[in-house]
Amino acid sequence: MKSDHHVILRVIGKCFIPLIVIYGFYVHFHGEVGAGGAFQAGVVLAVAIILHSLTFGLANTMRAVPPAFARTLAAIGVLIFVGMGFLTVVQGGLFLEYQALFAEPPGGHDGQHAGIIIVELGVLFAVAGAMTTIFYALAGRVAEIRDEDW
Amino acid sequence: MTLETVLTTAPAWAIAHAPVMLVAVPMLIAPLVAILPNGRLAWLITVATAAVAFYLAIVTLGLVQSSPTGILSYEIGRWPPPIGIEFRTDALNAMILLLVTGIGFLASVFSWPTISSELGNHNKLGMFFAAFLLCLAGLLGVASTGDAFNLFVFLEISSLATYVMVAMGAKRDRRALPAAFNYLIMGTLGASFYIMGIGFLYAATGTLNMADIADRLPALTDSRAVQVGFAFIIVGLGLKAAMWPLHQWLPNAYSYSPSFVTVFLSATATKVALYALIRFLFTIFQPDYTFELASFHWILAPLGIAAMLICSFQAVFQTDVRRTLAYSSVAQVGYMLLGISLATAPGVAAGLLHLFNHALMKGAMFMAIAGIVLTSQGTTIRDFAGLGRTAPWTMTAFAIAGLSLIGVPLTAGFMSKLQLGYALFAEGWWWAVLLVVFSSFLAVFYVGRILQAAFFQPPVNPRKTHKEAPLLILVPLWILALANIYFGIAADFPLGLAQDGAVAALGLEAFR
């Protein structure tokens, strides 16, 4: 790689990708007190991956974040969300009743707090995984018929 | 009654959480199945999940019937209803839930041979079964939620999964891809019309809970926003339910999707959209609002009649068996709409009974076709020549369901057309009865063409020996075929469900 004519793009990209990831997590964890939330955070995380593939090429990105990993991440996200609902039922509450998560004295809201954070984490995984999978599906698609054959 | 024994033996969690578990169990299992590498294991888990859902639907039905008010209300997250999301199950929901889970269970049992031959690549089957479970969860969610916006979310979950499943037919026939894309565009249009309607209702009433909207609407019937919202919702749900002339997505989607998907969709997807339509027409809006009465007389009844005549005609001229049945499905939706448009309890009950019976007969017919596709790979009527001799069990079940579709006495189809006739006569719509009979004669033609080819024509290629469909297909197929006969002779059970459902939808006292 002596004459890399993408060098500026790649260096700037390398600088930005960690910042984007940090910003994504900021949006996620700040979501409970300000604007933001897991969905937006998931999209921001996926944007970091998309930027990587734009600057370094799809093949490199697929090596760093394999499509199977993205798919599994999305599935695990859904699993966390619905599993949380089942956990509250097991703890004796109604479906997704976070208050029932821990045996708390009246007035305590630790269950609500923990429950929403975990569910949001599920949403984060699901959105980031699904967005990446959609991007891979669109970007990795090869034309089945050559243009001359039309 | 056996429902009581089910209730007494049911575990405590099932009693307490049945309405929500019905939706949550398939939704929990779907991502698990999606990451499974083994297709056969994914299938077994899917069958078990569908069985659990079926069991929970029976428990729900028992709970609804034994409840003093006839309504089960489940607060998600213990947020009380007008603010929180409520799962509200009454006799109407319970009937739809039972139908969808029952068909879902039988279809998932039968799915393995056809899916593994039509989709190939066993390692990717987990994703397919995940899509099926999500579709099931979405349909069940639509049929159990009491929140108008939540209904939209579940409608989209089921629809997105459906588009994926339809597109999977591309391995057998490339035309599945445009069919799926068409369905995607039309289905998204339907969903966005629905959500626009909900937007208008929300603007006018300030609430999304269905029961709460129903409480606040009587004071607002002159509001233009409410009327526009009503129009949007009818068009949106009509698109999803394949109301003529909004059915253009349906014939292609049914003809080119994998056989298993056709079985499941034909018996459930449009039915659930029709349920939502009934819920909006009778529970949320009241049939005595003037704009709604006008829409019954000038929109739903004429469109229903047009569907049953025009689509029956179109069915007669199709050369592909699956297309014939797809057009026939639109025609059957016409019968249901005609019953609903009477806006009387017997009319709605007749529509619901036909909805139930149509799921039985179309489920059986598409299952039989799936068996034929598996063994002989062809779905044109010419391909069916002589199959009555080479695959007698498959084709006999097909014939029974076909007779039921025509409405021959002693079959389920006869019972629902009889009820529809009674309801129409009670309102003095004798001309509509004549049209129903005429449309049934058209059914004689399009079913008769297939049966004639199968039983009275020699095989096209006598040396090519067709085999019978495998047992995994034959057993669910014959369960459905025998149900068509059983419910044609002893119709008390589905008729009771339909009448209770109509009463619950209209908010009346029992009229039985």
Residues of chain A above pLDDT 70, percent: 92
Query: What does the alpha-carbon distance between residue B180 and residue B165 come to, in Å, rounded to a whole number?
Result: 8
pLDDT at B82 over 50: yes
B120: left (phi over 0), alpha (psi -120 to 50) or beta: left
Question: What's residue B1's pLDDT?
Answer: 54
Question: What's residue B123's pLDDT?
Answer: 65
Does residue A66 form part of some domain?
Answer: yes
Q: Are the Cβ atoms of A94 and B75 closer than 8 angstroms?
A: yes
Q: From the list B21, B28, B78, which residue is nearest A93 (CB)?
A: B78
Does residue A2 form part of some domain?
Answer: no
Predicted confidence band at A149 (pLDDT cuts at 50, 70, 90)?
A: low
The SS3 of residue B89 is strand
Predicted confidence band at B127 (pLDDT cuts at 50, 70, 90)?
A: confident
Predicted confidence band at B511 (pLDDT cuts at 50, 70, 90)?
A: very low
| Tens-place pLDDT, residues A56-108 | 888 888 888 888 899 899 999 999 999 988 888 888 888 888 888 887 777 77
Q: Average pLDDT, stretch B486-500?
A: 84
Question: What's residue B512's pLDDT?
Answer: 40
Ranking B105-109, B241-245, B269-273, B328-332 by mean pLDDT, the lowest is B241-245
Neighbours of A98 (CB within 10 A): 25
Q: Average pLDDT, stretch B305-323?
A: 88
Question: What's residue A22's pLDDT?
Answer: 93
Tell me, what's the ipTM? 0.85
Query: What does the alpha-carbon distance between residue B250 and residue B168 come to, in Å, rounded to a whole number?
Result: 16
Question: What's residue B499's pLDDT?
Answer: 83
The SS3 of residue A1 is coil
Does residue A1 form part of some domain?
Answer: no
Nearest to B253 by CA among B155, B182, B325, B190: B182
Tokens of B380: 């044109």
Predicted confidence band at B319 (pLDDT cuts at 50, 70, 90)?
A: confident
The SS3 of residue B293 is helix
Q: From the list A75, A94, A96, which residue is nearest B31 (CB)?
A: A75
Question: What's residue B466's pLDDT?
Answer: 58
Q: Which residues, listed in sequence order, are joined to residue B11 by a DSSP beta bridge? A: none
Query: What does the alpha-carbon distance between residue B314 and residue B295 come to, in Å, rounded to a whole number?
Result: 26
Question: What's residue B510's pLDDT?
Answer: 45
Ranking A108-112, A141-145, B37-41, B500-504 by mean pLDDT, the lowest is A141-145
Q: Which residues, listed in sequence order, are joined to residue B74 by a DSSP beta bridge? A: B87
Question: What's residue A46's pLDDT?
Answer: 92
Residue A105 φ then ψ, to 5°: -65, 155
- Average predicted confidence (pLDDT) for chain B: 86
- Chain A contact probe: residue of B72, B78, B163, B174 with most A CBs at under 10 A: B78
Nearest to B146 by CA among B220, B52, B215: B215
Question: What's residue B47's pLDDT?
Answer: 92
Domain count for chain A, please give it.
1
pLDDT at B290 over 80: no
> Strand pairing of B72-75 and B86-89?
antiparallel
Tokens of A2: 């002596």
Ranking A96-105, B48-57, B254-263 by mean pLDDT, the lowest is A96-105
pTM: 0.90
Does residue A73 form part of some domain?
Answer: yes
Q: Are the Cβ atoms of B24 and A95 closer than 8 angstroms?
A: yes
Ranking B13-22, B159-168, B284-293, B303-312 by mean pLDDT, the lowest is B284-293
CA of B141 vs chain A CAs: smallest distance (Å): 14
Task: Please say whether the beta carbons of B426 and B498 come within 8 A.
Answer: no
- Token pair 């067709």: residue: B466
Question: What's residue A2's pLDDT?
Answer: 57
Task: Please say whether the beta carbons of B76 and B84 come within 8 A.
Answer: yes
Interface of A with B in 68-127 (CB under 8 A): 71-72, 74-79, 82-83, 85-86, 89, 93-99
From chain A, pick out residues whose CB is under 8 angstroms from the CB of B27: 78, 82
Neighbours of B65 (CB within 10 A): 17
Query: Which CA distances in Å does B344 have to B91, B301, B354?
Result: 17, 13, 15
- Chain A contact probe: residue of B22, B23, B32 with most A CBs at under 10 A: B32
Query: Which CA distances in Å does B172 have to B167, B169, B259, B377, B461?
Result: 10, 6, 10, 9, 22
Tokens of B59: 């428990």
* Residue in A closest to B134 by C-alpha: A78
| Tens-place pLDDT, residues B174-209 | 888 888 999 999 999 999 999 999 999 999 888 888
pLDDT at B304 over 80: yes
Neighbours of B124 (CB within 10 A): 13
Does residue A129 form part of some domain?
Answer: yes
* Residue in A closest to B131 by C-alpha: A75
Question: What's residue A18's pLDDT?
Answer: 93
Predicted confidence band at B215 (pLDDT cuts at 50, 70, 90)?
A: confident
Residue B75 φ then ψ, to 5°: -90, 115
Q: Provide the domain limits for residue A20.
A: 7-149
Q: From the list B17, B30, B35, which residue is nearest A95 (CB)?
A: B17
Q: Are the Cβ atoms of B77 and A96 closer than 8 angstroms?
A: yes
Task: Please say whether the beta carbons of A123 and A27 come within 8 A.
Answer: no
Query: What does the alpha-carbon distance between residue B35 and residue B127 come to, in Å, rounded to a whole number?
Result: 7
Q: Average pLDDT, stretch B23-41?
A: 87
Question: What's residue B462's pLDDT?
Answer: 61
B162: left (phi over 0), alpha (psi -120 to 50) or beta: alpha
Rg (C-alpha) for chain B, rounded Å, is 22
Tokens of A18: 């960690």
Query: Which CA distances in Å does A108 have to A68, A97, A114?
Result: 41, 14, 12
Q: Average pLDDT, stretch A31-43?
A: 82
Predicted confidence band at A129 (pLDDT cuts at 50, 70, 90)?
A: very high
Task: Please say whether the beta carbons of B317 and B253 come within 8 A.
Answer: no
Q: Are the Cβ atoms of A71 and B28 closer than 8 angstroms?
A: no
Question: What's residue A32's pLDDT?
Answer: 73
Tokens of B7: 């209730």
Rg (C-alpha) for chain A, rounded Å, is 20
Nearest to B85 by CA among B35, B133, B165, B154: B154
Neighbours of A142 (CB within 10 A): 4
Does residue A46 form part of some domain?
Answer: yes
User: B442: which residues sit within 8 A by CB, 6+ positions away?
Assistant: B309, B312, B313, B315, B316, B331
* Residue in B closest to A80 by C-alpha: B28
From chain A, pick out residues whose CB is under 8 angstroms from the CB of B32: 75, 79
CA of A137 vs chain B CAs: smallest distance (Å): 13
Tokens of B139: 């349909």
Does residue A89 form part of some domain?
Answer: yes
Q: Average pLDDT, stretch B408-421?
A: 88
- Chain A contact probe: residue of B13, B28, B134 with most A CBs at under 10 A: B28
AA letter at B393: W
| Tens-place pLDDT, residues A109-122 | 888 888 888 888 99
Nearest to B197 by CA among B174, B225, B216: B225
CA of B78 vs chain A CAs: smallest distance (Å): 6
Does residue A23 form part of some domain?
Answer: yes
Q: Are the Cβ atoms of B27 and A78 closer than 8 angstroms?
A: yes
